[in-house]
Structure 1
Amino acid sequence: MTEMIDFAAFVEKFMAEVPGGVAGDAEMRRRDPHPFVDTTAADIRPDHLDDDQIDSWFDYMAWNLWELIASRSTEGESGLIPRQEYETLSFVQQWDVYPEAMRAITAEVGVDGLVDLGRVSKREVGTKVNHLRNYACSLMAILGRGVGVKLDLVDPVASRSDVETCIQFGRRLWHGTWGDGPGLASGRGFTLPHLDRDVLDPLVAAAVSVEDPEHRAVFRRFNAATELFGFMLHYDNRLGMGDTGPYPLPGGGFALVRDHFLHEPAYPWADVAEGMPYAVTEVMVFRDDTIDVTINDIGTTFTTPSTYLDRLDSVVVFARDTMDTPMSELRILDDDEMRAISAQAEKGVLALYRMYAKKSVDEKIWDGITVYSHDFLRPIAQRVGIWDRIREGGFDAPTELTKKAWPTLASGRAGEILAPVFMMGDGFPSVRPKS
């Protein structure tokens, strides 16, 4: 009973001390007035970091991750998909392959090129070169280091150079999105309003009223069907979706911009999406200023009241037919096409369930590892044009570290390992030598 009470305290507050939300960010900044998750044009340039900078990044990111898991309730374990197993193993795989891939990307485009990649999500919708990948590509690999240390497979001191690579790679992307200052939604009041206004305003201007009950019903079905389909296509996780905003609007109210990724050709099971657009983007306009909106660093929206879609005033849905479709060629979906895509998505979810049910546990774990290890980095590497080169270096094969961790993490102990990694800061062991 004592252990349960103690763990409950760690669920309630980070390290049983720091709350979630804006108050938690303020407390972390009181403890460290200049956290290294904030960026400047100068401090993103060095490749090597000092101990205090690494500790600062670790401390804030440990709280940020706890906040994401404990306070925002992301999706949990599935009875069909071994989520905890593939998550922990994918972190380990990423730790073994990401630093080298990040160095290859940096060598190709330089620091300024990474900053430019961070700007992509300011100018485009329906792209996976977005805040989620910028935020998570470094974090997921660092968590793999933490898991490896817990399993006595990784030396926390000897791995310092890869830690530096991961931290600076992510910070350079963050700087492209936000410039000087906080690089995370948690440091910006839990908002992600990063589309430039000259990009956002024409999208909002195309929104039409949902006063007609039939039009509203068509959109609500479309929103639900494409969200679930993207979720399942990406192996039961949120890599197939993401929100930005809220964007304050002239005259009051706000807009939310939501991407659902549907036809991701990277995965062999994506043939169920044949004929769908690569991505659809919903631009939703609300004129009710009493709705409280927060968006976390993985692009998940939380509102009070939770029935915010009941207060939707107008909406427009754009299709990006392929990953390379220019922004100038986005097209608006009418109700008939939304109905057709909704029907295909609903059938597609059932087909995915049937397909996943036929796979062995090990097959599903490796599929999940593939999704995580690909999807956090592939969009960036594709944009640079070196994804194929990175894959040729053994990126797709289970590494020796992954093979060593597999028996433990696939044996039912993944949850036992993940809990302290997510909730108690164990994902961020110090790089400092023990005295």
Structure 2
Amino acid sequence: MTITGDSKATFRQRYEEADDGLRFQELTYTGNFVDMDPVTDGILGDKMMRARAKSKVLERVSKEDVLREQFTIDELNDLNNYLAWNIWDVLVMRATEGVSGMIPRQEYEILAFMHEFYRWPEILRMTTDEVGAQGVMDIGATARREIGTKVNAVHDWCIGAVGFGMGRCGLLALEAIKADEYIEESNEILKFMQRVLWGKRQDGYILNSQDRYRYRCRIHEADFLEQITAQIEPLEAGSPAHQSFTQFNAAAELLAFLDHYDCRLGLGDTGPYELPDGRLLILRDLFVNEEAFHWSDVCEDEKLPHCYTLALTIDPEKMGLQEIRVNDISTTFTRPKNYIEAIVGGAVFAREKWNTPMGEVDPIKIQDLGDHLTRVQNATLKLYTKTSKMCRRDLIWNGQYVYYIDMILPHLRLAGTYDKACQDYDLWEIDQRVANYYYYDITKRGFAQETVPSKIFSGAGYLPFPEGADRRRSKYRWL
């Protein structure tokens, strides 16, 4: 795409209440609404899904609502339907990521989905018991004054969308559970998600797609943002500094992706923040060294920090910006698609460990990125080499751990319950049911390649909870 200097940005029109946004793709969604018009992506899709809700759980909710112990059946079904659409909405935007030539991603994903649904409820309940419902909300609120934190949109969204939504859907498709089972456990997962996200956003909504201004994750406090923007260096397209900044962004993003087994848990965008001069700010966390993973030793060898955070400013007029989305998997999408040449400023920061105080986060001058780039590239090569020597089984279980552990790891760390989850709840052990699925179901009858796309990614398998079902109901018998 060629960016012309005289093009005019129209993206602010998307923030008008009557505006339905652009269509980023032509597919449509049906889910549980088989007798109704299909649902689109984006702003219009959000409007359609909320209009079909039976409860108010998808509207702006109060603190009292969030502190309530359980959702009603109607609320559970509205969340189930909305998350199913939201999963489709974000997945179709990056459909080509689903297959890796080296890592069996589809296999590890479905195993992790089901493992999370089985195991997370008691661990999240224990964590809530330890810190209280308000304490869970406070965990979410920490992200408002931090960069380089995994308490971010994708991790918080994954608790409900993946652990509940995809996990329950996968088990329903496998016919391991029925629609009226595990209701209490579903409530535990979804309540934890709602509390973390409400505490982080503090605008009454929980998901970026619900934002009044649509697909924004504007969570940082104004005075904290000023500390970041004060260190942004101007960049001119085609200049050595611009090239150095964008090259580092690409290299660190690749390593963050690989360290998290080809998934987006290693990346996290917040924004867009509109600056006084009309330009847009995106804050991008790239987690290039997660110490919880044993394979990250190659990143440690290169003395890489836990996270690099990039602050990048985009000139919307320069690219004729029509719409910008920071979706619920922490990813920025724009129309037109290519915003790289419209980056007019940047800054880089390094957070050494996940709990390094903000006062000790190091800024890195763009002229000094060369050494960091070399170390990132060295770690990437070492990690590719290490990964290529692993057998298929190890690749699948490692990937499963990335999902199952990392999606709730930042919340357990801040709650101080990670060690208890390991010691008293066997967090890192594989549930026997999930191990059996690996041997007898997932790898033998094409479940990951056929059933998962047709049920989970399409939205067809997210069965509602039956009307009048008992919210206390678990699975009491294996018949």
TM-score by length of 1: 0.93
The reply to whether residue 31 of structure 1 matches residue 56 of structure 2 is: no
Q: Please tell me the residue identity of whatever aligns with 1:430.
A: P
1:148 shift after superposition: 1.2
CA separation of 1:60 and 1:296: change in aligned 2, threshold 3 A: same
Report SS of the residue matched to 1:313: strand
CA separation of 1:145 and 1:83: change in aligned 2, threshold 3 A: same
The reply to whether residue 187 of structure 1 matches residue 194 of structure 2 is: no
The reply to whether residue 312 of structure 1 matches residue 343 of structure 2 is: yes
1:228 shift after superposition: 0.1
Q: Please tell me the residue identity of whatever aligns with 1:203.
A: I
The reply to whether residue 163 of structure 1 matches residue 186 of structure 2 is: yes
Residues 372-411 of structure 1: pairs in structure 2 closer than 5 A: 372-392=403-423, 393-406=425-438, 407-411=440-444
Distance in 2, matches of 1:33 and 1:203, equals 42
Distance in 2, matches of 1:157 and 1:240, equals 35
Consecutive unaligned residues in structure 2, runs of 5 or more: 1-24, 31-36, 470-479
What is the aligned partner in structure 1 of residue 389 from structure 2?
Answer: 358
Report SS of the residue matched to 2:97: coil
1:178 shift after superposition: 2.1
Q: Please tell me the residue identity of whatever aligns with 1:152.
A: E
Asked whether the 8 Å contact 1:115–1:173 carries over to 2, the reply is yes
Distance in 2, matches of 1:396 and 1:197, equals 39
1:343 to 374, 377, 381: 374
The reply to whether residue 326 of structure 1 matches residue 375 of structure 2 is: no
What is the aligned partner in structure 1 of residue 16 from structure 2?
Answer: none
What is the aligned partner in structure 1 of residue 223 from structure 2?
Answer: 198
What is the aligned partner in structure 1 of residue 126 from structure 2?
Answer: 104
What is the aligned partner in structure 2 of residue 276 from structure 1?
Answer: 304
Asked whether the 8 Å contact 1:225–1:342 carries over to 2, the reply is yes
Consecutive unaligned residues in structure 1, runs of 5 or more: 1-9
CA separation of 1:119 and 1:163: change in aligned 2, threshold 3 A: same
1:61-99 CA distance string (max 9 Å, x none): 111111111245462210100000000000011111100
When structure 1 is superposed on structure 2, of 116-125 and 222-231 the one drifting more is: 116-125
CA separation of 1:179 and 1:421: change in aligned 2, threshold 3 A: farther
When structure 1 is superposed on structure 2, of 26-35 and 216-225 the one drifting more is: 26-35
CA separation of 1:328 and 1:434: change in aligned 2, threshold 3 A: closer
What is the aligned partner in structure 2 of residue 7 from structure 1?
Answer: none
Residues 107-256 of structure 1: pairs in structure 2 closer than 5 A: 107-142=129-164, 143-188=166-211, 189-211=214-236, 213-256=239-282
What is the aligned partner in structure 1 of residue 473 from structure 2?
Answer: none
1:153 shift after superposition: 1.3
Distance in 1, matches of 2:74 and 2:40, equals 23
What is the aligned partner in structure 2 of residue 68 from structure 1?
Answer: 90
When structure 1 is superposed on structure 2, of 262-271 and 10-19 the one drifting more is: 10-19
CA separation of 1:161 and 1:11: change in aligned 2, threshold 3 A: farther
1:395-433 CA distance string (max 9 Å, x none): 211112202321211333202121133333245322327
1:271-299 CA distance string (max 9 Å, x none): 11121111111111123343232111011
1:307 shift after superposition: 2.3
Q: Please tell me the residue identity of whatever aligns with 2:234.
A: S
Asked whether the 8 Å contact 2:271–2:281 carries over to 1, the reply is yes
Distance in 2, matches of 1:405 and 1:115, equals 35
Asked whether the 8 Å contact 2:55–2:74 carries over to 1, the reply is no
Q: Please tell me the residue identity of whatever aligns with 1:279.
A: C
TM-score by length of 2: 0.85
Identity of aligned residues (%): 30
When structure 1 is superposed on structure 2, of 281-290 and 324-333 the one drifting more is: 281-290
Report SS of the residue matched to 1:42: helix
The reply to whether residue 49 of structure 1 matches residue 50 of structure 2 is: no
What is the aligned partner in structure 2 of residue 14 from structure 1?
Answer: 29
Asked whether the 8 Å contact 1:186–1:296 carries over to 2, the reply is yes
Report SS of the residue matched to 1:181: coil
What is the aligned partner in structure 2 of residue 93 from structure 1?
Answer: 115
What is the aligned partner in structure 1 of residue 313 from structure 2?
Answer: 285
Report SS of the residue matched to 2:157: helix
The reply to whether residue 432 of structure 1 matches residue 457 of structure 2 is: no
Distance in 1, matches of 2:68 and 2:152, equals 23
Q: Please tell me the residue identity of whatever aligns with 2:261.
A: Y
Asked whether the 8 Å contact 1:235–1:368 carries over to 2, the reply is yes
CA separation of 1:322 and 1:423: change in aligned 2, threshold 3 A: closer
Asked whether the 8 Å contact 1:92–1:141 carries over to 2, the reply is yes
1:134 shift after superposition: 1.4
Distance in 2, matches of 1:180 and 1:322, equals 30
Report SS of the residue matched to 1:317: strand
CA separation of 1:180 and 1:202: change in aligned 2, threshold 3 A: closer
Distance in 2, matches of 1:197 and 1:181, equals 18
1:418 to 436, 449, 452: 452
1:391 shift after superposition: 1.3
What is the aligned partner in structure 2 of residue 3 from structure 1?
Answer: none
Q: Please tell me the residue identity of whatever aligns with 1:432.
A: P
